Amino acid sequence: MADTEEPPIFTKYPSLRKMAGVDDSEIVESHDGREVTLLKYIYAHPELDTKLRGSPAAILEAMDEFAAQEDFLINIGPDKAGKLGALMREHRPRVLVELGGYVGYSAILFGSILKEIWGVNPDNAEVEDEDNSKAKLYSVEIDPLIASVAMNLVSLAGLQDFVEVIIGGSAHTLRRFQEQETFGNGGIDMLFLDHDEALYEADVKLAEELGFLDKHGALIIADNVVRPGAPEYRDYMRKNRRLGDEMEISVVGRGV
């Protein structure tokens, strides 16, 4: 009998072979120790000092390598990273909020592009906004241990001036932003949703209620809205006529 052809996904991610034949209800994709193993993997990398340290691109490459060869990670991955990077370079956001930072993959991506766009020092931007806001990503992660991995990798990438990892729940942290006047008189240029899909709708509504999404052209980007799915969020955004045509991207003030 001929061997059954292996699914193409196993060629790209050999680490997924361990899930073959496992019932979907028993598959664990995160929060089982692999995140700390990732950190150890990065710091044991033979090119830690010669290639990775201070290089966001090299660290992302090493994280992709770990996800493919060692243990799958629920990161956005290189394909989505390319699309998000192009979007950021087009829209040139300065104030970003990420809900669901996980191990810092997207934080490193976003922080590196902020640095690329706005210069070495976030206070010395090419063009000052009226609210004089700094170029920064606020990456929110509810799990303290996972957040500590992200903090470490962001620091290793040399992006601590552009990325602040915050430990806390999404709604609680959004309200803290308002109480502490984190964004001054401005708001958010880009909101990235990558946490619990069941919270997407409520958190977007809260961000709108708090006035964080009042900027014309502000981006709202949601991952995983098809699988595992966020039907309430999609329905809400469609009714508000804000849903974009690609990657579940919504642009405030356009198509309204």
- Chosen CATH of 76-251 out of 3.30.70.1290, 3.40.190.10, 3.40.50.720, 3.40.50.150: 3.40.50.150
Long-range contacts of 122-125 (CB under 8 A, 24+ apart): 122/161, 122/162, 125/94
Listed as ranges, residues in the chain with pLDDT below 70 are 1-28, 120-133, 228, 241-256
Q: What pLDDT score was predicted for residue 100?
A: 98
User: What is the predicted pLDDT for the residue at 138?
Assistant: 99
Residue recorded with tokens 């929110």 = 140
pLDDT at 38: 98
Identify the pLDDT of residue 245: 35
Domain boundaries, the chain: 76-251
Type of residue numbered 228: P
Distance CA 154, CA 164 (A): 9
Q: pLDDT at position 30, please?
A: 76
DSSP one-letter string for 163-219: EEEEES-HHHHHHHHHHTTTTTT---SEEEE-S-GGGHHHHHHHHHHTTTT-STT-E
